[in-house]
Structure 1
Amino acid sequence: MVSARFGERSSSLVVSALLIAVAVATVVTGVVAGLLGPRPIIVVCVVFVVSVGVTAVFQLPIGRIAGLPPIGVASALLVVATIADNPVLEVGLWTGAYFVAKAITTRSLWMAGQWAGVASLGAMAFVALSRALIAAGVPAVIAIVISIPVHIAVVLLVEFARDRGRWSVDQSFGVTGVSPWRLSGVVGLSALVAVAVYVSSTGALGIVDGDAVDLTVARQTVPLLAVALVFYGAAKRNQTRSSERRLSGVVDAARALPWTPDIDPRVSMVDFARRAIDASEFEVRRQPPGRDEIGTRFSALDSTDPQLDPAALGDRADGYVTQVHQLDAVEPPEYLVATRNSGGTPFTADDELALDAIGHIASETARVRGAYDTLLDQVDRDSLTGLPNYNAFQRSLVRLNEDRTYASGIAVLFIDLDQFKRLNDSEGHHIGDEVLATVATRLRASVRPHDFVARVGGDEFVVILTKLQTLAESKQVADHIVANVGAPATLGGREYRPLVSVGLAYSGHQETDPQSIVVDADHSMLAIKKSRRQGGPAFESSIGISPHRSSRINEIVAKAIDDGVLNVVYQPIVNTVEDKIWAFESLVRYTHPELGRISTSSLIEKAKGLGRMDLLTKQVIAASLKAGREFRKTVPSITVMTINLEVEQIRDEHVGAFLKEIVPQYPDVTLCLELNERSTKDIDDDLRQQAEHFRELGMLIALDDYGSEASSVGALVRIPMDILKIDRSLVDNLDEARQREVVRALQGFGDAFDYSTIVEGVETRDAVDILVGIGVRHAQGFFYGRPVPLAQTMTRLKAHGAAGTVGRERMREAG
């Protein structure tokens, strides 16, 4: 890669040197021709040079992207060389004037020489072609109009070769970045100006013998000065617009303060720089700017350091962030660099000032943000151990309780160091501090990345375990933590083995009052300490599990099912092509007045263990059919209600007989039985016949959760079905080509066997657009609506009918 860049740079230098040589040769040849040929009129030559130099300042963009070479109308003044007695002199003067203009605007003799070389090649082509056409009898005006695009084409071809053909929008080989309309406008304007200069200079249209033309000084100079004046004003107008753009970009950066904290300041800085400056590329890098580049030094927090990046800390973002530092203190500085292609308009001093201002704003933003984060960290951190303190723990407990999904449990470990006061009294507080720091370090090293550790008191610590599935899993993690904490440590020259009492409280559902988990864990810890005093294990760390919560859940679930007080909520299923609701899925929920919401997975698990799963399913079926009738009265096109059950439940001894009895009572509602894919593995002939019988009665059969865990192709043929529901795990990253192809294949399978395919877990408009693009016609997910009770669903249907996509404000009203 390095050698390739070196070779590219070397070849670029050779081409640049050749172009400069062409410019020098053109100017020198013109001077020699002026000395040896007919004596020129000095006043006309001076006016010609000044006019070309002033006009060359005016440039127009020809591309949709930055970095393409701009084109001006200075070529129009080459008409003087077309009708002059000494065209070589005129081309030399034109090239010299062009070089001076570019040297002033670019502040670089090297770059100006290259531009002059390219322009001289175009000038020679223009003059040679126009004079040849006139000599061949072509009217001068036509010859000039033909020669103008040839001049521009030569310039563009040379620049295209210099840029290695990278004129596409994506910086690859091609010309998609060129705007045909802009290029045509530049060619037309140049031709119009050339014709105007010619007509004003000669006073007539038609064939002109350049050697026989006798023009007065006024006729030769006034058109040139007029063109120069007009386009000097236009150039100044362009400069004013560029200045306004630069100022607007800097002002936007300042007005946006404080920049979005979730976005790296480097990203924001590049965005504002792009608004202010026209460049082909922006980047933040360690290397300072080079040729054809401008840059500004930038200081920012090292967002790649997980100790400093809140996003990298995940659930511990409120926790033990270590000391904040500036990049300049430990690493080389970064630079915000803007780059233009070699043929593009050069950067100006004002561009550099604007870029420097944006870089300064970004540096100050990062510095202030770092100082603010440091202050917050110091407020929420225990100074001895570096762990979060009690306040940070309370906030994190609330956040972790609210953010978890229905199937995700959390556990609180309340940890107390035993005999700590005796250690302080006997060994001194400095040893006690070392013990606390050691325990904190071991706790931090023992937890998983998404868990949380805090010191909430003198010798008390709290751990919040997250993303748990069962109480047994929380106990396993707790055992690992206790084993690590209790390992021997050498402090003050003596071996010390920390002894802890731990109370564990597990919560499988969101809590109305998350503090209740802490209370249960605290009571369990105190029970361990009490057992020590009553003769329990005195020299071993112990864990006490709170029996209060799990034992109550069994009683609560059993009573809720027996009393029929479970809540049924409904989530829409939408035709993505028509954006219309055609079905609702019925889901069960339950919120206890004291313990709060019980997760659906816990509810189902408890119902199975308590022998009440069939009763629960019957209650959901009855509620769904009643709701379906109400939905259809409001929106007649909504006719399908889906309910979840396992394949074994369709036997008559479970809910099969109940289905045969209740479904005929609702002839206007079609019930769809969603059979869990995992439950179809052991299906037999009787179950297949039962499923076929249900289809004859007008029910639909759906295979649910296909794609979760270890799904197999065999599941698609084990049982007759009408609908295939694709699990959310197959569409969690539709930007990945493999996921899209899997969904496309399943949709094709459904089309081939006349199944309706429904994709679950659709949460964004982008996901909907991708799914529609690959042929998916039915979807379900939070994008179309969360599961809500009957009353809220009816409100939505009355307000918006079967509309699948409802605006957030209208959804809020419906809810």
Structure 2
Amino acid sequence: MFFDAVLTMPAHPQPPASSPPPDEASSGLDLAQTRSLLRVIVEAMPNAVVLVDAAGSIQIANSRALRLFGYQVGELDGLDLDRLLPERFRSGHASARSVFMRHPGTREMGAGRELFGLRKDGVEIPIEVGLDVLRTPPLTFVLASVYDATERREALRTADQATALAQSIIDGAPFAIVATDLDGRILEVSPAATSMLGQARADLIGRKPYSLRRSAHSRAVRTIAFDGKAAPRRADCCREVRKRVDDGDIDQREWTLRKSDGQQLPIDLAISGLRHRDGRLAGFIGIATDISERKRVQAAMRHMAEHDALTGLPNRMLMRDRLSGAIARARRTGTQVGVLLIDLDHFKHVNDSLGHHVGDRLLVVAARRLSQSVRAYDTVARMGGDEFVIVLPDLAARRDAVEIAAKLVEHLSVPMEVDGHALPVSPSIGVCLFPDDGDDADLLIMNADTAMYVAKEAGRRRAVEFTPQMATAASERWALERALRLALEVHSFRIHYQPQVCLRTRRVVGAEALLRWPQDECSYLSPTHFIPVAEQTGLIAAIGEWVMRTACAEIGSIRHQLPPDFRLSVNLSPRQLTLSKLPALVAESLALSGLAAEQLELEITETSLLQDDIVHLIEDLRATGVGIAIDDFGTGFSSLSRVTRLPIDCLKIDRSFVRDIDRDPSQAAVMAAIVAIGHRLGIRTIAEGIETQAQLQATAMQGCGCGQGFWFSRAVPASQLVQTIARIEET
């Protein structure tokens, strides 16, 4: 093995076998001196060296060789070289040594081959051997330089493991990896890359990535899209990527991969440099990730963020963005932009009477009709609830928006078929335009909303154009809202009480608590002026709670001066009926006032009977011991079947049936019918708005039990109630 390493090297010519050996004495040194000199030279060598004669016997081994093979000084002298080789190599080594010694040659120090050595303790070690022929006539020796290759072998093994690990990682990576030279020709690809590109590895190697042929009849073309912008020319793109990578950066962006079948695949591609050891750029490596799912999720999330979940229409955010864009375009082109704000009339009645599931389907049908009634590039958006906004860009004249609004009124007023119900829902529409009615999105929407409320107040089912005067009215409404909030905060409201009188005995049996808002010492603001604003802003709930607590407290403070069967009536707003804490509020107000539960009667409007869960709420309120009265009975949309199923104590007949009762037989007939229902069901009846003696007599003739109105008394403060009751009962 030692000698086999040099058999392939050319040997220098040797003297003919017939030539006489030189005279030993002619060298000037005897054999002992020569050995001594060789030992000094060998010992001085910086590596392990063994001097072997032609028979393979070790003549000299320096200290480094002794340490390498684990021997002491003198233990190797005379031993056969085979002792330093594992047994499995010895026969081959003997043959190689024989050939080498017959045809000795020479070679450079350190140029050898790897093999294994055998230490004295039997441990094999990887070694490298370099051989040199040493002639000391008449003898020929072989000088073997031995190198411990353990570290180099371990380094190679580690490198091989690292290479295998890296290849395993590349092969198993879920993202595509492509290596190219500086010209863009593919040098290597990972399995994920072949799958992503739709090409076999053999078809990819050597090709440029922008034009890859899959077969003679198909072609895969890779293009760069740069987030939707026009793709630059390939040369420009390559120069841009090359510059970034040359600067040591990573070029990372979204690309679009167009595959051979025409499919476009969005990918995230990061390109970095492959470099020589000296740092020079040798090529590129690209790591690509399929981001199709990410794009799908992003698109879905963006759609969810910008669209109404129920109708699929754009929501307020997207509508405002499109409106702002339309305004910007109109500034450049000199056109107009229309904004229509649409509210569905009586939608709440549908929700309350048929349920929210029917109301939701109605909104879907209405959204479809709206979309079908406008141009393809108009925006129909849902603002929330039953409100919609339509943006009409690129209008030439104001009349265009007005005509579209009129058409919408007509289309939406046709009854909508929902779950077997023909629902008569009409729209109230506010119309405004840029630039006449506002110069930004928020102002246009606000002014359209103002016009829409005017349409409702004018009788609904119509479109109304915005005017500057409406802005003044809206400003007054906002001022009224601020004043309402302040009045609630500083307790500016007052409660007056209108007595309720038994028409048979003329005794006062109760009083209705009515809210008053003083403006100065002598005047009050009419509830018809501020109650609608309170309801629109939601302040009615807080005001209603204040009325409940205050009325109970005031009547409780004078309860011992009132008739024993006196009953306080307090109105509940529809908003209060949606509050889960209402029964607790009633119980707390009674407890703090000292009133008994049977001394309090809560009035709810007839339309409130249509609300969801009203039966459960009335039952919860009745459980506290209070009475329930239906206010303005005869004007709402409730069914008699629902009235008969509810624990109701009193029907308050609306003043519209009292106004002409003494002159209009039909009004008297309605009164008689309501009274008959009350008598049959064991429910008390109270007629509201009795202002004349004729009305009093006609109402009493129909059998109505009680009445209230200016004929008896106006509403008075609690401090005047006892005296007012005394006056009524004395007359």
TM range (shorter): 0.3 to 0.5
Greater strand proportion = 2
TM superposition score normalised by structure 1? 0.31
TM superposition score normalised by structure 2? 0.34
Larger-gyration structure (1/2): 2
